[in-house]
Chains A and B, each alone.
Chain A
Amino acid sequence: MEETVAPLTHKDFTSDQDVRWCPGCGDYAILSSMKKALPQLEHKKEDYVFVGGIGCAARFPYYMNTYGFHTIHGRAPAFATGIKLANPKLSVWEITGDGDALAIGGNHFIHAIRRNIDINILLFNNEIYGLTKGQFSPTSKKGIKTKSNPHGITDKPFHPGKLTLGSNGTFFARVSDTDPKMMQSIFVMADQHRGTSMIEILQNCVIFNDKCHGDVTGKDVKQDAQLHLEHGKPMIFGKESNKGIILNGLKLEVVTIGENGTTENDLLVHDAHTEDSTLHNMLTTMSLPEFPVAVGVIRQAKDMTYDDGVIAQLEYEKENAKFHSVDELLTSGDTWEVKE
């Protein structure tokens, strides 16, 4: 008999631990959106596992009333991989930051994406090290001054989206921590996507890098500064909803509808599902002031997942097996009897 249970609510996902992020931290909004997104999914509560590395973001699992593993710096993708391979039924969420994922954990990050293991990665990108109190990170903008480079950093930053697509990622989305509705819908889509779903969250560190995304996420600028991509819809943005993106030769270009005879029909229509990632790359890379910053699901392409491949191979080998137990293996091949 089917058990009838009350549907889960966000309260079911609240752990008994005090949340210890700084007041005003963008992480609170992400946590809240996650708790609201999960009841929209079809997993049982006990099948969720949250895995964190090290950093402010990585403490996330402690605040979710699910199974959780707060691991070591940079290695969360490897733990998540082991969890998913051991039990593919689980819905595995890795919570990471720009230092955790792209500095110390860069290797595991690209390899998880390359394999396309069916996990979800939330990268809280605040372009700074928060937990160690304000050193520059691999996504910090060139020139900014931090404690560990008071004269302005000379590094060039990593671009999480380009790195994802460069690792043959099948899912990449970007969203601001100021946009709870979009976060919820992206979390749901990420979980439904089969493969590594990588979500870059433009997250604000109120203490060490306040308003680092302000020119993209600020209330008064965001309509002009963000292009919300939705599969199958034309690329329109702007306060007046009159700006759009076209492809001119090999380059993207911002146009205004109604000017120079441009109509909505001339605009690019977003195809998140296409296997070719060329356009996804271009959209991912768009930056101010020439372009709006793309948010929403930029890429969602179908491909075999790593865990499916592993399980399929295992099942095939089991069906075509010569041995079905360790005892049979031990006595296989060349053996000899010694009699009394």
Chain B
Amino acid sequence: MSKQNGTIELEQVVVKFAGDSGDGMQLTGTQFTDTSALLGNDLATFPDFPAEIRAPQGTVPGVSGFQVHIGNTEINTPGDIADVLVAMNPAALKANKNSIKKGGTIIVNIDSFEKRDLEKAGYETSPLEDNSFEGFNIIESPITSLTRESLKDSGLDGKSIVRSKNMFALGIVYWLFNRPMESTENFLKKKFKSKPDIVNANIKVLHDGYNYAETIQAFSSSYTVLPAKVPPGTYRNIMGNQATAWGFMAAAEKANLELFLGSYPITPASDILHELSKHKNLGIKTFQAEDEIAAICSAMGASFAGALGITTTSGPGLALKGEALGLAVVTEIPLVVVNVQRGGPSTGLPTKTEQSDLMQALYGRNGESPAIIVAASTPANCFNWAFEASRLALEHSTPVVLLTDGYLGNGAEPWKMTTLKELPDIKPLRIDGTEKDYLPYAREEDTGARKLAIPGTKEFEHRIGGLEKENLTGNVSYDPENHELMCRLRAEKVEKVANFIPEQEIIGDANTDLLVVGWGGTYGHLYSTVSKMTQESKNIALTQFNYINPLPKNTIDIFRQAKKIVVCELNRGQFVDYLRAQFPDIKFNQYNKTQGLPFTTIELAQHFDNLLNK
């Protein structure tokens, strides 16, 4: 921490905006994030909101939060605990009492601490008046009344005026962290293009909040976080679901195919459907089907007819798609299924994150039904994994399940953009039209995959379907030995994918005392913890899996070299069981969490320390 012109320079800070689900906290948090991203900070976000659109107002279950971690160093997690909390009501304060650092700053909207507000939050007396928050720097700001005052001459109705109060809170935080307001002003101008009075009102309130913070002298100083030292290039802030959508668009362009999405709305995956639906100008076809099953079936129909067919869903939707996915396995047509995982089983925790669909993705179908499984590990690399999933599906004529999760999908981070030139070409496995006597189920030597002939291609008429196929011809066959052969050929085709993917990497020393193993969306928390412990001279290393089925070929070598292994995942041990089945001679420890929340680096570090000291 250093002081410069009355401003304290911070290496990193965690800010959390919390309020009622109608208070606009997601928008406020996103604005703070985007502004910080444009300033060049590295960052990670964690939006955390209830499953109900408007849970009972003012209650703890109705609290919506947005946490953002910004820094001038590498940031890989949204932070375990906030340095600054904005609490728009008592419920927001109550819900976050363990999410704020001891001694941290809490900005409360004191106008919403009336008796009735306290009761709704389940407080008998104000927590600000007893010693519940002793030792915290509480800034009591009359945010609602100052917003009313600010807009009393605006001509807006009372409801619209009060709705602008989140901009007042954002103004306060902008001053506190020395952020410019232009980016938010531009956002407001665009968002409310047809309502200039709303634009003006919001901008005025934003500035009034900023000026209020400067004037009240409640803050001993303001802070800044300088740009992060990151590789040169062009950056943008990107959310995981958006990155997923763009990755598919890039893949379709590199494969020179039309992109077809069949989807049915489901939290937290719907944003991929929304994003792709915006880009009809690039020839993308999106089909909102009547249900999850029709969604995958339409994508398979499109794939059969020559498009890059994809479908997006979350856990319960994957369950519904299981039968159709089996048909993609047996017919060997390309397909990508995205599962943005959420807490389960059943409806479970729709807005919370979890990694508990791994077994479903691997085995949740009837029969011997192998599919390629890959997982993204950061919000931005959802782009790369959507691209890679498409490449594998098209070049190996098989369905691929891409696992992301609610944390990745809704989280944001700066992304050093790629251009399509930098991405490999995708070569869909197709006939070239010169083949004589097309055999739909003849296989390529190297991949074991079949070449597709697309309807509309003369003299390649053929039938495919869900009944077992005779090898080569694809005709219906009930022959026992043929069935065994086909089961083996389909399995080998997926196993052979290991020859076409890079080796598994290890971060740190291969002969480590403790190898931390993760997969998918836990990367940020595992990496932060491991790199901090490495700095503390602990002998610890990390390997994070993105290729799940098949595993990279060198996986066993990595495991053999480590003295101790711990597999960490947000479920009750699905990946570790998968590894135990494949590598029965290796001893795996496990660390699991099923709270609908990401790991914290604190809990991980404690657990790793225990293992190292054992």
Pairing of A with B: yes
Interface-side segment among B100-108, B226-234, B548-556: B226-234
Distance A72 CA – B460 CA, assembled complex (angstroms) = 23
Q: Contact between A82 and B301 (Cβ–Cβ < 8 Å)?
A: yes
Q: Contact between A70 and B461 (Cβ–Cβ < 8 Å)?
A: no
Does B607 sit within 8 A of A, measured CB to CB? no
Interface contacts beyond A45-B458, A69-B304, A83-B302: sample of 14 additional A-B pairs, CB < 8 Å, sorted by A = A51-B301, A62-B476, A71-B300, A71-B466, A72-B324, A78-B295, A81-B298, A82-B287, A85-B302, A87-B456, A322-B281, A337-B232, A337-B233, A338-B416
Residues 38-74 of A at the B interface (beta carbon under 8 Å): 44-47, 49-52, 54, 61-62, 64-72
Q: Contact between B293 and A61 (Cβ–Cβ < 8 Å)?
A: no
Q: Contact between B455 and A46 (Cβ–Cβ < 8 Å)?
A: yes
- Secondary structure of the A side of the interface? mixed
Distance A65 CA – B236 CA, assembled complex (angstroms) = 52
Does A290 sit within 8 A of B, measured CB to CB? no
Nearest-neighbour CB distance to chain B for A5, whole angstroms, equals 10
Residues 106-147 of A at the B interface (beta carbon under 8 Å): 107-108, 111
- Residues of A close to B159: CB separation below 8 A: none
14 residue pairs of the A-B complex, CB under 8 angstroms, read A46-B455, A46-B459, A46-B461, A67-B455, A87-B455, A111-B294, A321-B282, A326-B250, A330-B418, A335-B234, A336-B236, A338-B230, A338-B232, A338-B234
- Residues of B close to A69: CB separation below 8 A: 301, 304, 331, 463-465
- Residues of B close to A52: CB separation below 8 A: 465
Does B290 sit within 8 A of A, measured CB to CB? yes
> B307 — nearest CB in chain A belongs to which residue?
A86
Nearest-neighbour CB distance to chain B for A228, whole angstroms, equals 34
Known A-B contacts A44-B458, A78-B289, A81-B298; the reply to A324 vs B282 at CB < 8 A is yes
- Residues of B close to A331: CB separation below 8 A: 234, 236, 417
Distance A324 CA – B281 CA, assembled complex (angstroms) = 7
Distance A89 CA – B455 CA, assembled complex (angstroms) = 10
- Residues of A close to B324: CB separation below 8 A: 72, 75
Q: Contact between A75 and B293 (Cβ–Cβ < 8 Å)?
A: yes
Distance A339 CA – B227 CA, assembled complex (angstroms) = 11
Q: Contact between A83 and B246 (Cβ–Cβ < 8 Å)?
A: no
Does A278 sit within 8 A of B, measured CB to CB? no
Nearest-neighbour CB distance to chain A for B302, whole angstroms, equals 4
**Chain A residues within 8 Å of chain B by Cβ, number:** 63
Across the interface, A338 reaches (CB within 8 A) one of B235, B295, B462, namely B235
Nearest-neighbour CB distance to chain A for B25, whole angstroms, equals 21
Q: Contact between B287 and A87 (Cβ–Cβ < 8 Å)?
A: no
Nearest-neighbour CB distance to chain B for A85, whole angstroms, equals 6
Distance A226 CA – B570 CA, assembled complex (angstroms) = 65
Across the interface, B280 reaches (CB within 8 A) one of A65, A108, A314, namely A314
Distance A87 CA – B260 CA, assembled complex (angstroms) = 11
- Residues of A close to B40: CB separation below 8 A: 336, 338
Does B26 sit within 8 A of A, measured CB to CB? no
- Residues of B close to A83: CB separation below 8 A: 301-302, 304-305, 455
Q: Contact between A49 and B455 (Cβ–Cβ < 8 Å)?
A: yes
Does A239 sit within 8 A of B, measured CB to CB? no
- Residues of B close to A335: CB separation below 8 A: 234-236, 417
Does A310 sit within 8 A of B, measured CB to CB? yes
Residues 229-250 of B at the A interface (beta carbon under 8 Å): 230-237, 246, 249-250
Does A79 sit within 8 A of B, measured CB to CB? yes
Q: Contact between A326 and B253 (Cβ–Cβ < 8 Å)?
A: yes
Does B501 sit within 8 A of A, measured CB to CB? no
Known A-B contacts A81-B301, A86-B301, A86-B302; the reply to A318 vs B280 at CB < 8 A is yes
Does A260 sit within 8 A of B, measured CB to CB? no
Does A323 sit within 8 A of B, measured CB to CB? yes
Known A-B contacts A45-B461, A49-B305, A67-B455; the reply to A111 vs B285 at CB < 8 A is no
- Residues of B close to A7: CB separation below 8 A: none
